Amino acid sequence: MNLPQMKILIILFMVLTIVGCKSDVNSPDELNAEALELYKFETVENDLALLKGGGMPLPEGDAVFSIGWNEIFRPFDDDSHIKGMAFAVAFGDTNTESTNFPRVGLDMGTINIGYAGNQIQMHKMFHHRRGTAYSLFNRPFGGSDVLLEYVPSTGYTFDISGSENFTATTITLLSPASLINITSHNHSDLIDPQQDLTITWDGGNSEGKIAIRVMAHFNPQHRGGMKGKHLPGIHPPGPRPSDAVVVILDSNPGQYTFTAEQIQNLISELGANKIVIDVSQFDLGEIEHEGKVLHTAMRNGNSVMLKIQ
């Protein structure tokens, strides 16, 4: 091998080494993890926005503890089982510049939810833009594989171990005697987006506020060589709460109609071929803990995924 050839090989080796280092620093796996972790917080943020619309006086207060059944995160391929989800967040003093998650979440130690002889540990998550929050949401909305079972008229207790920023305590919420049930549609029903969409349901109490969301639903999207992992900017599979049309009703009429224009705008902007309808009713409360105001919500809901014709 002559000297010019050796020089070319050395330069080529250096280029490949530099490219490899840059790939490690900004690897798709790391960017992917960052995007999905923030997506988990986005789920909590949109639930906070919905609770605010339903009457919870946010951003006032120091924490939110919420439990709900059969809402937007329900596994649509297994509608024979009632699934219970939950989240908890305590707010610090540092602003996040997020409308629905206004202050950084505090570490509260470990949180378990106990009910009817069962105990489930909540998934603790952290993001440098949001701080700490806790959830029992299915993936990709959260990191939980085990969810809450529904037991009517039963106490569900958040057992909080505490930290230097939030002292230990317990908070108990009472589950509803019966759940809201959507009666107008079944999972995977086909709808015509050129027609108005009327949703009917039964259950819940007649006086409590009702929140209705319609969201675009995305199928998994992959790119070659990524082994099925999602890249930043690509929607994870499932409903997209941040792009929802939300309606808050002051009472429980048992039905609501979305216009064809609302449905068409939603699916055309986001390119979805399915939508998810979520109907929820909240039992809101407020307790004090060492000078802090803690908001609570027991959420009673139902959801269906509908295919676009």
DSSP 3-state assignment of 79?
Answer: coil
Nearest Cα residue to 199 out of 261, 134, 252:
252
Which element (helix H / strand E) includes 6? helix 3-25
Question: What pLDDT does residue 97 have?
Answer: 79
Question: What pLDDT does residue 229 have?
Answer: 41
Question: What pLDDT does residue 73 have?
Answer: 43
Sheet strands side by side (includes 197-202): 181-182, 197-202, 255-258
| Whole-Å CA distances, 192 to 99, 104, 260, 265 | 34, 43, 9, 14
Question: What pLDDT does residue 303 have?
Answer: 85
Domain ranges of the chain: 28-308
Nearest Cα residue to 134 out of 240, 232, 24, 142:
142
Q: Note whether 106 and 91 are within 8 A (CB).
A: yes
Residue 72 region, left (φ>0) first, then alpha (ψ -120 to 50), else beta? alpha
In the numeric block, which tokens belong to residue 8? 């070319």
Q: What's the chain's Rg over C-alpha atoms?
A: 23
Question: What pLDDT does residue 299 have?
Answer: 87
Nearest Cα residue to 294 out of 125, 121, 57:
57
DSSP 3-state assignment of 44?
Answer: helix
Question: What pLDDT does residue 233 have?
Answer: 44
Question: What pLDDT does residue 176 have?
Answer: 85
Beta bridge partners of residue 278, listed in sequence order: 213, 303
Intervals of the chain under pLDDT 50: 3-31, 72-80, 220-237
In the numeric block, which tokens belong to residue 31? 């960017």
